[in-house]
Amino acid sequence: MIIVDKLCYSSKLRYMNAEEKFAFSIITLLICVISRSLICALFLLLAMGILTVKIAGTPLRYYRKLMLIPLTFLILSTIAIVINFSHTPLDAFAIPVGSIYITGSWQGILKATQLIATAMAAVSCLYFLSLTTPMTDILEVLRKCHCPLIFLELMLLIYRFLFVLLDIADAINISQHSRLGNKDLKTAYHSFSNMVSVLFVRSIKKSNALFDAMESRCYDGTIRVLSQNYPPRKKEIILMVLFDLFLIILIIGGKLI
């Protein structure tokens, strides 16, 4: 149902120590976002792509599709950054419209390129984490970081309920489709709203039933699960540290040139 969730369970890096993966992707992400260096971003985009597709074994066609998800936002907001409305033309381009110019400067274009590269590289870092680490492992890492317990409990339950509700929504959607529930826009709106209403009623019913079931099995506010422990490997840690050091050197080198 949720494609990222499906893919991460079949990833080849699924059984690597989760804290390692978490720390690696977050630190790399931070380096990328803080430095905003073009070279670093391009290198990261390539390296994270190779890591996710070749080493973690995510199918390339899915990876490509996933990388395109934030594209709408990227295109629209970059347009807003590059284009200016001004009475005086800037140096890169200027299209006169009446008394004002639709105009942009080279500096703005350079900044926008840098921004696109950084954002895409950051997304690739995020994907490295989400395509190799199942949500339950990420929750385990957060628990070790001393996240508030109620918060974690809520996250765990929400994660479980997502799939329950998505299943119901999907079933309703199929039956609506097979009964011409989307034949025109008005019907479609009604079908959608009815689906949401039914989804709400079902979710309340389910949650009540679930609480009764858990209560009768001695639920006291926390679900305790045994965490599978995959010890961190020295080799992997060294490689990751080297990778990040290389990134920093690349950034400093790029600034000097």
Partner 1 sequence: MNTKEQRIVAISAAFAVAYGIIPGVSAMHIMEGYLPVSFCIAWGVLCVPFLIAGFFSIKKKLQENRRSLILLAMAGAFVFVLSSLKIPSVTGSCSHMTGTGLGAILFGPSAVSILGLIVLIFQAILLAHGGLTTLGANTFSMAIAGPLLTFAIFKLCEKAKVNRKVSVFLAASLGDLLTYCVTAFQLALAYPSEAGGVAASFGKFLGVFAPTQLPLAIIEGILTVIIIIGLESFARPELKTIGYLKEGEA
Q: Which long-range contacts (CB under 8 A, 24 or more apart) does 19-22 make?
A: 19/141, 19/144, 19/232, 20/232, 20/233, 20/236, 20/237, 20/240, 21/128, 21/129, 21/132, 21/133, 22/129, 22/133, 22/138, 22/141
Binding mask 79-108 for partner 1 (x = CB under 8 A): xxx-xxxx-x-x------xxxx-xx-x-xx
Backbone angles phi, psi at 103, to 5 degrees: -140, 165
Cα–Cα distance, 60 to 54 (Å, whole number): 9
32 belongs to the binding site for partner 1 (CB under 8 A) = yes
Nearer to partner 1, 86 or 228 (CB): 86
Nearer to partner 1, 166 or 238 (CB): 166
Q: Name the residue among 190, 135, 124 with its Cα closest to residue 159.
A: 135
161 belongs to the binding site for partner 1 (CB under 8 A) = yes
Binding residue (CB under 8 A) for partner 1 from 19, 23, 26, 254: 26
Nearer to partner 1, 80 or 239 (CB): 80
What is the amino acid identity at position 60?
L
Q: Name the residue among 140, 133, 136 with its Cα closest to residue 12.
A: 133
Binding mask 209-248 for partner 1 (x = CB under 8 A): -xx--x------x---------------------------
Q: Using CB under 8 A, which residues numbered 124 to 143 contact partner 1?
A: 125-127, 129-130, 135, 138
Q: Are 131 and 122 in contact (CB under 8 A)?
A: no
Binding residue (CB under 8 A) for partner 1 from 204, 242, 248, 249: 204
Which range in 53-61, 74-82, 232-240, 242-250 contacts partner 1 by CB under 8 A?
A: 74-82
Nearer to partner 1, 187 or 238 (CB): 187
70 belongs to the binding site for partner 1 (CB under 8 A) = yes
